[in-house]
Structure 1
Amino acid sequence: MPNTFKTLRFEVVDQVATLTLDNPTKRNALDAAMREEFSEVVRLVRSDRGIRALVLTGANGHFCSGGDLRNIATAGLDNAGWRNRMQDLHAWLSELLTLDRPVIAAVDGAAAGAGFSLALAADFVLATPRARFCMSFLKVGLVPDCGAFYSLPRFVGVQRAKELMLSARDVDGAEALKLGLAMELHSPEQLLARAQAMAASFVHASPLAVSLVKRALADWGAELPALLDQEANAQALAMGSPEHRTAVNRFVNKEAPLFQWPVLP
């Protein structure tokens, strides 16, 4: 699939999509051009059922340095204008957050402001020791955006989310692993390969089961009766899927399962 974007690189190999933020002059800042191209890519991924997993990463030694402050300073928008701009961003961000396939973020270097929030839109976050996560919004008199009020407490809990948002301090890769922001830590040389291997494992997973798991966990915090009802409905659907029947047959015939989580390098 050819790449036709100016600030992003997008490729699909063996049903795994890799989206690379690539705007070296701005440390991959989420400027107007990138926001527009991001929207296009998210729509493309959602519409292509052949894509089984998505990897998000950044080029040039950084993930994403956040919003484009120079553009923000000169935008000249009033309150209604800023609200409309945020709602435009939320339109594609919500589609990414609710994508029914796994999303894996591979974070090296800066993941600041909206870049931090963007990493949290993934299901799994892998990082390097030199990764730097920062909810930097308060440094410029703003509140966290790009879905951070939804996603950050789900990763670290409400109290720690408040601390990270209100302190606007840096979190390196080792602390991100300790806090649960990152699931695994890898060298810069191994990071993307590990993320893509993880994504590739889902090519052999049941897309229905993956979708149902993500949908149920999106309702995390709901009352127990509602979650149990959702569980019963989801399992009934999964029981009737061809992937379930294939997996059971392979088990009975003592064959290796098709879906296997990749071993750590």
Structure 2
Amino acid sequence: MNPFTTLRFERHGGTAVLTLDTPANRNAFTAALRDELAQAIAQVRGDAGVRALVLTGANGQFCSGGDLRGIADAALDNAGWRARMQSTQRWFSDLILMDKPVIAAVDGAAYGAGFSLALAADFVLATPRARFCMSFLKLGLVPDCGAFYLLPRVVGAQRARELMLSAREVGAVEARELGIAMELHEAGGLMPRALALAESFAGASPLAVSLVKRATGDAGALAGLLDAEANAQALAFGSAEHRDAVQRFLDKQPLPFQWPANKEQAA
């Protein structure tokens, strides 16, 4: 029996599968989903019988990022936003540093923190309709959920800045070219390939896997960047530009920041 309401937790042999499943908001990070992901990731980390984790989203979407309605309704000062960021960062850090292989199976949108969630995986598999976007700047925010640590390690510093500062969408083919996605598969073959890849670790030494992941990661750098991220995002959440952008989004109006710039606005 699934103990969660916003995601599905399944076992396939030694593989745990977490499926984000809130179709009303394209699997956005509501407070409930954040809390349940924290519980599920802790469960996976503590279960020696789980040799690999697959992250995916239901209903043709991976994760649309932050819950803007919930953000708009939150009445928090800078300290409150920082505390909220740190609460999310704790389980995100546990995911990034997990000593088991993590595979993201991405179909549809991986926007904002949803992009960060995909980057937290060791292997990203995607369908041709997958779309990745560091959409934060459109809302007057900075990338979060470990993006400052994760994205430059995948695409390099220059390209990471371009993706963060343009907030442009990256299609599946470009994502593979940039190294964001390791493989592309049609929708019907995405989960079978993800499960097959996960099951390939069933006979691997858990110690050796853990040591490889630790050697190729940098927990100290991650901790420092997460602290800087929490401070920066707390300031951004309190800005007038952010509040205006969120209200425009909720009112279905054009956002002030567009990339490339609207020619009429530029003139």
- Counterparts of 2:191 and 2:136, CA distance in 1: 28
Q: With structure 2 as the length reference, what TM-score do the two structures score?
A: 0.81
SS in 1 for 2:201: helix
Match of 1:50 in 2: 49
Gaps of 5+ in 1: 223-265
Match of 1:176 in 2: 175
User: Pairwise mapping of residues 86-125 of structure 1 onto structure 2 (< 5 A)?
Assistant: 86-125=85-124
- The C-alpha deviation readout for 1:188-225, integer Å capped at 9, x for no partner, is 11001101100000001111110000000003999xxx
Match of 1:248 in 2: none
Match of 2:141 in 1: 142
One-letter amino acid matched to 2:20: L
- Counterparts of 2:125 and 2:119, CA distance in 1: 11
Match of 2:199 in 1: 200
Do residues 41 (structure 1) and 40 (structure 2) align?
A: yes
- Counterparts of 1:220 and 1:96, CA distance in 2: 12
Aligned length: 221
One-letter amino acid matched to 2:184: L
The ranges of structure 1 where at least 4 consecutive aligned residues each deviate by more than 3 angstroms after the TM superposition are 219-222
- The C-alpha deviation readout for 1:73-108, integer Å capped at 9, x for no partner, is 110110000000000001111111110000000000
- Counterparts of 1:90 and 1:219, CA distance in 2: 16
Q: With structure 1 as the length reference, what TM-score do the two structures score?
A: 0.82
Gaps of 5+ in 2: 222-267
- The C-alpha deviation readout for 1:216-264, integer Å capped at 9, x for no partner, is 0003999xxxxxxxxxxxxxxxxxxxxxxxxxxxxxxxxxxxxxxxxxx
- Counterparts of 1:106 and 1:46, CA distance in 2: 19
Match of 2:154 in 1: 155
SS in 2 for 1:199: helix
User: Pairwise mapping of residues 215-254 of structure 1 onto structure 2 (< 5 A)?
Assistant: 215-219=214-218
- Counterparts of 1:3 and 1:98, CA distance in 2: 25
- Between Structure 1 and Structure 2, whose CA radius of gyration is higher? 1
Do residues 132 (structure 1) and 111 (structure 2) align?
A: no
SS in 2 for 1:33: helix
Seen in structure 2, the aligned counterparts of structure 1 residues 71 and 210 have a Cα distance that, compared at 3 Å, is: same
- Counterparts of 2:120 and 2:93, CA distance in 1: 9
Match of 2:190 in 1: 191
User: Pairwise mapping of residues 8-87 of structure 1 onto structure 2 (< 5 A)?
Assistant: 8-87=7-86
Seen in structure 2, the aligned counterparts of structure 1 residues 158 and 203 have a Cα distance that, compared at 3 Å, is: same
One-letter amino acid matched to 1:166: L
- Counterparts of 1:33 and 1:197, CA distance in 2: 30
Question: What is the RMSD computed on CA atoms of the aligned residues?
Answer: 1.3
- Counterparts of 2:220 and 2:11, CA distance in 1: 35
Quick one: higher RCO (CA 8 Å, sep 6+), 1 or 2?
Answer: 2
- The C-alpha deviation readout for 1:13-56, integer Å capped at 9, x for no partner, is 21100000000001000110000000000110111010000000
One-letter amino acid matched to 1:51: V
Seen in structure 2, the aligned counterparts of structure 1 residues 220 and 49 have a Cα distance that, compared at 3 Å, is: closer
